[in-house]
Amino acid sequence: MSREMVLLIIGMSVVSLAPRMLPIGTLSRLEFPERLQEWLSYIPAAVLGSLLAMSILIRDKALAINISNQYIWAFIPTFVVAVFTRNLFYTLAVGIGCMALINNFL
Amino acid sequence: MDKKQETLTGIKDAFPVVLGYLPLGFAFGVLANNDAAMTVGEATLMSIMCFTGAGQYIAVGMIKEGAAMATIILTNFLVNLRYFLFATSLVPHFKAVPTRIATLLSYGLTDETYAVSVTHYARHPATAYYLAGLNLTSHLSWIGSSALGTYMGKLVTDTQKFGLDFALPAMYTVLLVLMINRKQDAIVAAVAALICLVIGGLVPGSLVNMSNVIIATLIGATLGVTLKK
């Protein structure tokens, strides 16, 4: 293992872990004001909305809102199953299954 | 609280995350070996110590381009900044978990484990056992698949054939559906998605360090507070 690679990994480790661990370690004793708690309660929806939009509509580092973006086609049945079953496993099965069909046959 | 049951629930909830990580980790290993000439030991150590999918892919790409170590680390810092926000939003859930343990287990906080755990905490209280089951299982699958990918290196198999490239988008879809409990949540999610895409479209560099996600989240959550109940 090269010395330079080890140093790089250590550096990356520090900047990757600090943002995850520091808030939990330092802020846990504080009681957040109600307004801040309400603000924080919207973060999951905002994060997931952003990540989902990116995972479907950004292909090869560029916005891809067109009919040749196959992820959009796989997303439609996946979303329908997610709404009606609210079940992680069924949604994954349908999403992955549709994508496999599209990748192999279209 | 049943410790065994909590741990098992965590492991079970990690299942979709693992399904997504296996091809992603494997692909990382293949790239690390082919593009960045990393050994199995180096790639595995990186997956153990960093556990940052986007960050590790960026590192491999930048090593290939011959970037300076400091540049790679700085980019990784920017990519991982969003976790500051995620972790802060988890703080109110961890009141009953010993701080030291919660901090240690936050090592395994990623986009995916975050999404799964906040969905769980919307209905169940957080416990250290659940968090350990979820985060450690997810991390192990990341380490194992990236080690295997590096080891298999040149024998690249086509994960797309099995549709596994859609595992993470499918997981985000159902998690978002489960996250929408108030009308305001749907509005916040839609606005954040839009802002995220607009910024990504206008400033392509933001897609690399994912700063568009951070900005969209900040604006989205702020909008949420101002919405009428």
Q: Where are the domains of chain A?
A: 1-30, 31-105
pLDDT at B66 over 70: yes
How many A-B residue pairs are in contact by the CB < 8 A criterion? 294
Where would I find the H helices in B51-166? 53-64, 69-80, 82-90, 99-105, 111-121, 128-152
Average pLDDT over residues B97-117: 94
Buried-exposed string B214-223: b where 16+ CB fall within 10 A, e elsewhere: bbbbbbbbeb
Q: A65: helix, coil or strand?
A: coil
As given in the structure block, the two tokens for residue A1 are: 């293992």
Q: Nearest chain B Cα to A84, which residue?
A: B177
pLDDT band at A83 (very low <50, low <70, confident <90, very high): very high
Could A19 and B186 be called an inter-chain contact, meaning their C-beta atoms sit closer than 8 Å?
no
Q: Are B87 and B104 in contact (CB under 8 A)?
A: no
φ and ψ of A68, to 5 deg: -85, -5
Q: Note the ipTM here.
A: 0.87
Q: B45: helix, coil or strand?
A: helix
The residues in A 53-82 lying below 8 A from B, measured between CB atoms, are 53-58, 61-63, 71, 74-75, 78-79, 82
Amino acid code (one letter) for B113: T
Query: Cα separation of B60 and B79, whole Å?
Result: 14
In angstroms, the first-to-last Cα distance of chain B is 34
**What mean pLDDT value characterizes chain A?**
91
Residues of B in contact with A74 (CB under 8 A): 163, 166, 169-170
- pLDDT at site B158: 66
- pLDDT at site B156: 65
Three-state SS annotation for B140-209: HHHHHHHHHHHHHCCCCCCHHHHCHHHHHHHHHHHHHHHHCCCHHHHHHHHHHHHHHHHHHHHCCHHHHH
Query: Cα separation of B199 and B197, whole Å?
Result: 5
Nearest CB to B172: which of A10, A52, A101? A52
pLDDT at B97 over 80: yes
Three-state SS annotation for B5-27: HHHHHHHHHCHHHHHHHHHHHHH
As given in the structure block, the two tokens for residue B143 are: 């380490």
Of A2-6, B78-82, B190-194, the range with the lowest mean pLDDT is B78-82
For residue range B110-159, list pLDDT tens digits in order: 989 999 999 999 999 999 999 999 999 999 999 999 999 999 876 765 66
Could B92 and A40 be called an inter-chain contact, meaning their C-beta atoms sit closer than 8 Å?
yes
Q: Residue B158: is it exposed, middle or buried by C-beta count within 10 angstroms (0-12/13-18/19+)?
A: exposed
Q: Nearest chain B Cα to A58, which residue?
A: B197
Nearest CB to A28: which of B42, B49, B91? B91
**What mean pLDDT value characterizes chain B?**
90
For residue range B183-221, list pLDDT tens digits in order: 999 999 999 999 999 999 999 888 877 788 889 999 999
Q: Nearest chain A Cα to B119, which residue?
A: A44
- Closest approach of A12 to chain B, Cα-based (Å): 5
CA angle B81/B82/B84 to nearest 5° reads: 75
- pLDDT at site B159: 62
CA angle A12/A17/A18 to nearest 5° reads: 105
Query: Cα separation of B156 and A35, whole Å?
Result: 51
Could A42 and B184 be called an inter-chain contact, meaning their C-beta atoms sit closer than 8 Å?
yes
